[in-house]
Every structure is written in structure tokens, then in C-alpha cells.
Chains A and B, each alone.
Chain A
């Protein structure tokens, strides 16, 4: 089930998950600085998010321009738990509501915050909230047979609407500032390098798990039906498949995966705010996947890591240049490498070996 491409990637991930902790915690002189640990953890979360998008876009042809919303919802669910963990250690030392609620004059916790002091409930909400949104949204969209550009536009509208909603203070999610000033997670101090290392290793595990799950789903007969839907939706219907059910399944699964990525991201970056819902964020995910190689899973993950790393470097050096660089890269890949870097690489390799290239995804 795990092909060579994924085998190599998982092995690399394993090495990373060993080398980074050892380099940060065990070796003298700390060759891996702590800021880098958190940065790598963040990239791994992006990679999982990219895999989630590749599931729907690469395999089922659903170009979601709103996947950032599912990521952000997972992040907010985790953020709510982290806020409750602060307890009375906030600036206002109020044990019953978080600081930002004290600030806007709320005396009691709104009902939708109930239970978020329990990690188990928050963890469940990490997948339930994005999953439910994806299910309801998809149920209406797919049943009405909204496809192509129209679907992309309404996913974009969805994340935009959520961004506006989360900006409002009276939504009870911290408005503009979002949720931040976290202290610890399950009793572990978030400022400690060991906690950061633990979160980074967890992110690597989640990415590996997400990749294996995605591989299993796409390799199953259901995965083959998804490709049928992508390539010839109408034909698939005439074979008796309820296309909308298949889309709903993969869209919901993908949203849940994105939620997990968001939940791991928030404690590592220390904040979640409404800008995570911004349409530009969702478009960036699409660029990762397109660059790495649509319909290759591993390519999507690599695309996310490479582009995010490039962004860190470039925004440090030339802040204004980043958006132009990203746009140029995207256009270049779309024109020159329609199957992404991984697709082009494998086509070249197999041509060198004289075997026909495997066509997993058609761009």
C-alpha cells in the first residue's frame, strides 16, 4: 500500500523526528535551536493541511479555496482549551472567564465555551467543528451540483464570512486579537523546549498518520471512484454511484484532517486569530499543492514545507517580494510543470528508465 515515494518521505520524517529532539535537548551546544523546533513543527502542520487539500482537489477534483477555514476551526477549538488552561493566571486573575471576556465585560462563560477546560472535549471538537461545517456546506453544495469555479468561489466566500464573524468581539472568540497568551497544555509548560519538541514530534506523527490514511483511502475502491468523479463525473453517476455522497465523504474527512493540523499548529505558534480565515491563506494552500504535485499526497506535503520555509526566509530578507515570488512560482509551475515538482520528477525518472510514466493525476 505504501509506495516508494511515500516510503522515502516517511523515512525522512522519522529521521527528522529523531534528529531534531536529540539536537535540541541532548547534544551539548544545542545544534538545533528551539525557535527552529517550533518552526519545523509549524511546517509539518502546513504539510498535513496540504495533504488534506490534495485529498479533495487532487483525487476528487474539488478545488476548495476555503480549506483555511477548517484549519482555523481546529485551531480555535484547541485555542479554547489552552485559554481555559490559563485559569486564574491571566492578567485579570479571573478564574471563571478568559481575560478577553473580562475586558468586554462578560461575567459568565458563554455556553459554547462550556467543557473546553476538558482536553478530551476540545480534542473531539477539533475534528467535529470543521467536520460538521464541511458536512453541512457540502451537503447543500454537492446536492445542488455546484461544481468547478462556482464551488471554488463559494468555499472562498465561506472562509471570508467566517473571518468577518470571528473578527467581531461579541462572537466570544477574542475578536481581532484572537486567542493567545497560552501557558501550558495538559500541564506541560509551553515555553519549555521539551514541550516544543514534543509538539513537533506529535506533528510529525500526525503528518505520517494523515499520509497513511490518505494513501489507504485513495488506494481503496472508494478512492478509485473519487478519481472517476474527478475525470468523468457524469459517467460515474450513470454507473449508479451517488457522486454527491462520495464528495461529501472526502470533503468531510479532509476538513477533519485540516482541523487536526490547525489544532497542532496553535500551541506551537502561540496564537490563533481571525486572519487564519483570510482568503489569501486558503489560496496559499492551493499553491503548495500545485507546486508539489496535485494527486501525489507526498508532493503536497513537500510543497507546503518548501514554500513555507521559503516564505520564512524571504519575508525576513525582502518582506515586499514574497507575494510576487509566490505568484511567479505558481505561474511557472502551472505552465511548465502541470503535475507539480514530484510529478515531473517521477515522469523524468521513469522516462530515463524507459518505463511508461504513471499517471495518477491529470492536471
Chain B
């Protein structure tokens, strides 16, 4: 931590810093002068109507999409706009997709094993064999995602909700420092949704988490700062109660 100098407040050390980011597709501004600051260990919910640019924002953070203008900084030093998906993943940015994406022709166990934090070079993977610490880590993740009974099943045979959990497990296996979670509650039962909210809350603190979600119950359960995105820009930011009382926000949501 930087010590306060001359009685000034401590300088903020954000994990992730977006400033003036814009990106258009065929003239349509999907992201429009977006600014966002995520602190270390913060849990942040991002809400907004369909097409607000939430997924595109994640694409930009993970290097899948390059912004036209603006700054995207990781821990104040690394320019994320220069990196590709593999590089941002190696930095410690993990991502769960809106549509659950697991490796369907691999078993649940293999899905988790391949996600474990390790050397990703072809040479290393060609010669790596399973180890005891690795197996116990897999056991932990299986217990956490309640997929222990499905260990040797093909991921393609899982239900939609189970795939969501498997993908969350794969995300945790990477030991990321920032988790980008796109609509995790889709296809889950109410009970599963609440369990997911608890899990994400328990992860935050140690890691930073950005959750995109439509389900207001879920966002309420997270009990964290909320950013409302609209037409590619931040419309409001604050606690859910405060934000949802703002006329602008009501209009955006009810106007749809």
C-alpha cells in the first residue's frame, strides 16, 4: 500500500481502470465513452437492458475486442488493449460466458483439470501428468460446484444449470484475480441462483468480481455496488436501492 503523503488520502490502486472507452460496430456505438473503476477485491454488479454493451465491455477487458478509443489499464500498469484473450487470461482475468461454454466431449474432471492454473505451453502440456495436489484441488472444486457425482460424465451430458456450475468451477480452477461473470443465473433454479450469489460473495474480497445479471433478486442478494449501463455508457452507479429509485434508470427499464 502506498502511504498517504502529507495527510492526503491514500491514492486509489484500482485493479481495473476503464476511461473514455468507445467501440462502434458499423457505425453503431456499442460502447460509448465508458468509464469504470474496479477496486481490488471488489464485487460489482453490472445491469442494463439487452444491447446495453455489457458483453462487449467484457470483450474489451479480455482483449477479444479492441476499443476504438480509450484506456483500459490492469493494476495501473498493463495496457489491456494490447493483449489478446490468452494473454489476459494468463494475467489473471477469468471469464464465464453468457451462454455456458464447456468442453462437451471431455469429462467434468478433464474440464476442470484443463482449467487449472499451470504452464500453458504445448511442451508443458504434452508431458504433464496428474499429480496428488492437482487431484485434491479437483476434489475441492467438484465439492464446491456440487458436481462430485458427475466427475466422469461427459460435460455435454450435463443439464444447463450444471454446465453453468462447471464453468464457474473452471473459472475458479484458473485462480484468476478478476472474474468476469456474464449472466450466471440464466437457466438456474431459484435455489441454485441464491447459492451462486453466495459463492460469488465468498469469492470477492480475495479476488475482484464483475457480475452481469438481469435477475434483480440475484443482484439484490449480491448486496454490492451496482453499475447501470445504457447505450454503451454508465447511466448510474451506487447501491441497488438508490440506483433503482433514479428516474433515468426507471425510464430505461420501463421504457423497454
Q: Considering the chains assembled together, what is the distance between the CA atoms of A238 and B95 in angstroms?
A: 7
Q: Which of B76-109 contact A (CB under 8 A)?
A: 84-86, 89-90, 94-95, 97, 101-106
Contact B128 A221 (CB under 8 A): yes
**Which chain B residue has the least Cβ–Cβ distance from A243?**
B86
Bound form: Cα–Cα A116–B86 in Å: 43
Asked if B105 and A240 make an inter-chain contact with CB atoms under 8 angstroms apart, the answer reads: no
Q: B120 near A231 (CB under 8 angstroms)?
A: no
Contact digits for A225-237, partner B, Cβ 8 Å, 1 yes 0 no: 1011001101101
Decide if B159 is an interface residue (CB 8 Å cutoff): no
Q: Which residues of B contact A225 (CB under 8 A)?
A: 114, 122, 125
Q: Which of B89, B106, B122 contacts A246, CB < 8 Å?
A: B122
Q: Which of A220, A221, A222, A240 contacts B174 (CB 8 A)?
A: A240
| A231→B103 contact, CB < 8 A | yes
A interface secondary structure, majority: helix
Interface membership of A118, Cβ < 8 A: no
Q: Is the CB of A241 within 8 A of B127?
A: no
Q: Which residues of A contact B101 (CB under 8 A)?
A: 232, 234-235
Query: Between A and B, how many residue pairs show CB distances below 8 Å?
Result: 80
Q: Does B189 interact with chain A (Cβ within 8 Å)?
A: no
Closest to B93 in A: A238
Instruction: Give chain B residues whose Cβ lies under 8 Å from the Cβ of A239.
Output: 89, 114-115, 120, 170, 174
Chain B CB within 8 A of A89 CB: no
Q: Is A351 an interface residue (CB 8 A)?
A: no
A360, B103: Cα distance in complex, Å: 12
Query: A240 vs B104: C-alpha distance in the bound complex, in angstroms?
Result: 18
Interface centre among A224, A240, A243, A361, by most chain B C-beta atoms within 10 angstroms, is A240
Pairwise interchain contact B85-A249, C-beta atoms closer than 8 A:
no
A227 in contact with B105 (CB, 8 Å): yes
* B125 & A222 in contact (Cβ 8 Å cutoff): yes
Give the CA-CA distance A234 to B90 in the complex, in Å: 15
Q: Mark A206-230, 1 if CB is under 8 A from B, else 0.
A: 0000000000010011101101100
> Which residue of A has the minimal Cβ distance to B92?
A240
Please indicate the chain B residues that have their CB under 8 angstroms from the CB of A107 in the complex. Answer: none
Expressed in whole angstroms, the Cα–Cα distance for A232 and B155 within the complex equals 13
- Can you name the residue of chain B whose Cβ is closest to the Cβ of A245? B122
Verify A221–B85 contact, CB threshold 8 A.
no
Chain B proximity of A135: nearest CB distance (Å): 13
Does B154 touch A at the CB level, under 8 Å?
yes
Q: Which residues of A contact B62 (CB under 8 A)?
A: 238
Chain A residue contacts of B97, Cβ below 8 A? 235, 238
Can you identify 21 A-B contacts, CB atoms within 8 angstroms? A220-B125, A220-B127, A221-B128, A221-B129, A227-B105, A228-B103, A228-B106, A228-B114, A231-B105, A232-B101, A232-B102, A234-B85, A235-B97, A235-B101, A235-B102, A238-B94, A238-B95, A238-B97, A241-B86, A243-B86, A360-B105
Given A224-B113, A240-B90, A359-B154, 19 new contacts (CB under 8 A): A220-B126, A221-B113, A221-B126, A225-B114, A225-B122, A228-B106, A231-B105, A234-B64, A235-B103, A237-B86, A239-B120, A239-B174, A242-B120, A242-B121, A245-B121, A246-B122, A359-B156, A360-B105, A362-B104
10 pairs of A and B residues whose beta carbons are closest in the complex: A240-B89, A237-B85, A222-B126, A222-B125, A221-B125, A235-B101, A249-B122, A240-B90, A242-B86, A240-B120
